[in-house]
Chain A
């Protein structure tokens, strides 16, 4: 089959820098008592459980004990920056109605298909330095997550994009 490619390719100049926007910030409602965190560890992870990835692509900057953090806050240890995770989003639903309705694994044990592509995922931020700082200072742990939207489509939402179930703090010795 031959195709008539739509207009051009007229050269576009080297592209300008992207413009990013901040999404709705997450604040943990109840600080994690520092007394529940072991004093000795070699690595500490913040696990984000059941992160939604159906919408835009974004970077999620994670701050510990900096509730005022926003997308302009320097991502440095001095500002409580713990690390980040990134979501390569599906950009909204481009299928027919129901295509992106997530169904849990079917009960049928003879069904060989993989689970739905939009099953929420787990993201892991290695946050050893930030957690160690909180432990050393004996301060309870409050987490702020700032989503910075990178790319989207006409089918994806633009603001309330950061969705997950909960955060686990995991330490390793």
Chain B
């Protein structure tokens, strides 16, 4: 049986782990069919618009809050595609960007995700090419990023305050708002044009997107540890998270999906 993938803080990856990650991203970004980066980025906004944010309704007027479950499924499929490109014994998991950390509050986006080149080679974690010929107008360019003042990234205290919210819907609304803020902060603008993280249609092309959402997923996981793994409205459980073959119920337990955020487990007797 395969072991669980450990998703680590990108600030804690070793140089060797980062190199494996960069190599996998580079291979993924060079594939233009439905195994590749461009395909997965295009599921979120332009041109397929599958993503779920805020409340959406289906059949009835009942509101469905699928933001967290849908993005968990999305990250899982992306991570599988990434691991497919990571060699015969892939150990990598998606790294998460802790925008509450002291480093982030000092320099903003961590160097691993920001430096345009490493050892003279293109860093595929810093940007990606957008190829969206079906967009109106068609888009064919590199991603752009104009992050804000690092001091204004969300604090750990703010995140911790969310963990005390006992109702899933309440928690999800507040966490999504912080998520929205970080998108705007990371995308930003240069006075004439906005960055891609700040626009839903192209956000998923920026490699930062995946590590930002990995943090959002981790915060949900931390909340589940405190408030219950199955703490979610029962009517959401059978909803299919299109276009993925998973329901909301399927994505509640991250261990059942094959990954983990804990970095150690020690028995105390």
Interface residues of A, Cβ cutoff 8 Å to B: 1-3, 5-6, 8-12, 14-20, 53, 56-59, 84-91, 93-96, 99, 105, 109, 111-115, 117, 119, 121-124, 126, 149-154, 156
Contacts and interface: CB of A to CB of B under 8 A. Distances in A.
Contact of B136 (A90, A95, A117): A95
A6 B142 contact: yes
B105 interface: no
Nearest to B66: A114
A18 B177 contact: no
Interface of B: 32-33, 45-47, 49, 51-59, 61, 64, 114, 116-117, 122, 127, 129, 131-132, 135-137, 139-142, 145-149, 170, 173-174, 177-181, 183-185, 187-191, 193-195, 197-203, 242
Nearest to B51: A117
Given A113-B58, A151-B184, A88 B146 contact: no
Contact of A85 (B57, B131, B177): B177
Contacts of B139: 94
Contacts of A95: 47, 135-136
Contacts of B49: 117
Given A15-B147, A94-B137, 19 more contacts: A18-B148, A57-B180, A57-B184, A59-B181, A86-B181, A89-B200, A91-B201, A94-B46, A99-B136, A113-B58, A117-B51, A119-B57, A121-B55, A123-B173, A124-B173, A149-B189, A151-B183, A151-B199, A153-B193
26 contacts: A1-B32, A2-B32, A6-B141, A6-B142, A9-B116, A11-B117, A18-B147, A19-B189, A19-B190, A20-B188, A20-B189, A57-B194, A59-B184, A89-B198, A91-B198, A91-B200, A94-B201, A114-B242, A117-B53, A126-B174, A149-B189, A150-B189, A150-B198, A152-B198, A153-B194, A153-B202
A126 B164 CA distance: 14
Contact of B56 (A91, A94, A114, A124): A114
Contacts, number: 176
Contacts of A90: 45, 199-201
Contact of B199 (A16, A20, A57, A113): A57
Contacts of A3: 32, 129, 131
A150 B142 contact: no
Majority DSSP secondary structure for residues of B touching A: mixed
A140 to B, nearest CB: 27
Contact of A57 (B117, B131, B147, B183): B183
Majority DSSP secondary structure for residues of A touching B: loop
B59 to A, nearest CB: 6
Contacts of B57: 105, 114-115, 119
Contact of B198 (A5, A57, A94, A119): A57
Contact of B59 (A9, A59, A112): A112
Contacts of A11: 116-117
Which of A84, A111, A124: most chain B Cβ within 10 A?
A: A124
A53 B59 contact: no
A18 B182 CA distance: 13
Contacts of B32: 1-3
